[in-house]
């Protein structure tokens, strides 16, 4: 194997491990290709954020296999969890929150797993939601079907933001990590920053509260990160 290719694979392996997953060499080569621009020569401009995978936060296994769609998503849909606005901004709390969401979605809603693909805590900690979503994102070719927005689950990435924002704004840490995650998703899947929406754009809901009013700001900030 040429040394430059070996060095590139080693670099990507370290980045993937920081995101909480370890992939084989073949997958890493695919991930590298997915991170290049159309011309194949320009490296990724948005670094992979730290996203804890399902094993890291102690997820239960899905009750049945997740559905893999062999198409890229065409939009991002932003949510709020409508749960308490905790003042515990630790990673441990973020992991506990992810477990609570999964329990709610599986035991109360009757879904096979967490409904959204990714979760963003008030402390800015990012976690994988539905199993397989992080793997799909890193490769940028497929979508794990979620259960986060009726009529859009087979074509969108859902991000749940911890908290309720009907009458207050999210913490800055949450907002900053939302920008970073959206930018990385847009880069990996080729989704324009203009294609970021709120849950209420498609369903009869108040979700994501005041975050919806800031979607133009979010789109602009994500576009700036993408350059």
Task: Decide: 142 and 135 in contact? Cβ < 8 Å.
Answer: no
Domain match, 18 and 79 both: no
pLDDT at position 152: 98
Domain match, 30 and 74 both: no
Segment 188-197 shows an average pLDDT of: 98
Domain match, 81 and 156 both: yes
pLDDT, averaged across the chain = 86
Segment 55-68 shows an average pLDDT of: 98
Task: Decide: 168 and 213 in contact? Cβ < 8 Å.
Answer: no
Closest CA to 119 of 107, 106, 131: 131
pLDDT at position 204: 98
3-state secondary structure (DSSP) of residue 77 = strand
Domain match, 76 and 132 both: yes
pLDDT at position 44: 62
Domain match, 16 and 103 both: no
Domain match, 16 and 127 both: no
pLDDT at position 114: 98
Domain match, 127 and 207 both: yes
CA 93: distance to chain centroid? 18
Task: Decide: 198 and 137 in contact? Cβ < 8 Å.
Answer: no
CA distance readout (Å), 156 to 25, 26, 132: 28, 26, 15
Q: Vertex 109, ends 69 and 132: CA angle to 5°? A: 30
Helix (H) or strand (E) holding 80: strand 75-80
Domain match, 31 and 89 both: no
Domain match, 7 and 77 both: no
Q: Please, which contacts does 29-34 make with residues 24 or more away whose CB atoms are closer than 8 Å?
A: 30/139, 30/141, 31/138, 31/139, 31/140, 32/8, 34/138, 34/139, 34/140, 34/141, 34/188
In this structure, what token pair is assigned to residue 197?
């929406």
Q: Quick check: 69 pLDDT over 50?
A: yes
Confidence of residue 28 (pLDDT cuts 50, 70, 90): very low
Domain match, 215 and 117 both: yes
pLDDT at position 45: 86
Q: Quick check: 129 pLDDT over 80?
A: yes
Domain match, 79 and 11 both: no
Supply the range of the domain harboring residue 18.
1-44
**pLDDT tens digit sequence for 72-115:** 999 999 999 999 999 999 999 999 999 999 999 999 999 999 99
Could you give the number of structural domains in the chain?
2
Domain match, 92 and 76 both: yes
User: Any idea what the CATH number is for the domain that residue 173 is in?
Assistant: 3.40.80.10
pTM of the model: 0.82
Spatial separation of the C-alpha atoms in residues 133 and 123, rounded to whole Å: 21
């Amino acid at each position: 194997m040429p040394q430059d290719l070996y060095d590139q694979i080693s670099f990507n392996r370290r980045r993937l491990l920081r995101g909480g997953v370890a992939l084989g060499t073949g997958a890493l080569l695919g991930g590298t290709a997915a991170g290049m621009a159309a011309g194949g020569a320009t490296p990724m401009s948005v670094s992979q954020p730290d996203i804890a995978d399902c094993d890291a936060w102690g997820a239960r296994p899905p009750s049945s296999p997740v559905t893999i769609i062999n198409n890229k998503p065409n939009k991002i849909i932003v949510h709020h969890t409508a749960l308490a606005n905790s003042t515990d901004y630790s990673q441990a709390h973020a992991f506990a929150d992810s477990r609570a969401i999964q329990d709610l979605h599986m035991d109360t809603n009757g879904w096979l797993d967490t409904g959204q693909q990714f979760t963003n805590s008030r402390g800015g900690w990012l976690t994988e939601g539905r199993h397989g979503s992080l793997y799909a994102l890193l490769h940028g070719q497929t979508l794990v079907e979620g259960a986060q927005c009726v009529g859009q689950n087979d074509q969108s990435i859902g991000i749940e933001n911890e908290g309720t924002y009907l009458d207050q704004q999210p913490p800055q840490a949450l907002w900053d990590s939302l920008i970073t995650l959206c930018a990385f998703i847009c880069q990996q899947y080729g989704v324009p920053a203009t294609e970021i929406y709120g849950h209420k754009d498609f369903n009869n809901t108040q979700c994501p509260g005041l975050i919806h009013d800031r979607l133009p700001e979010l789109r602009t900030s994500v576009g700036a990160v993408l350059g």
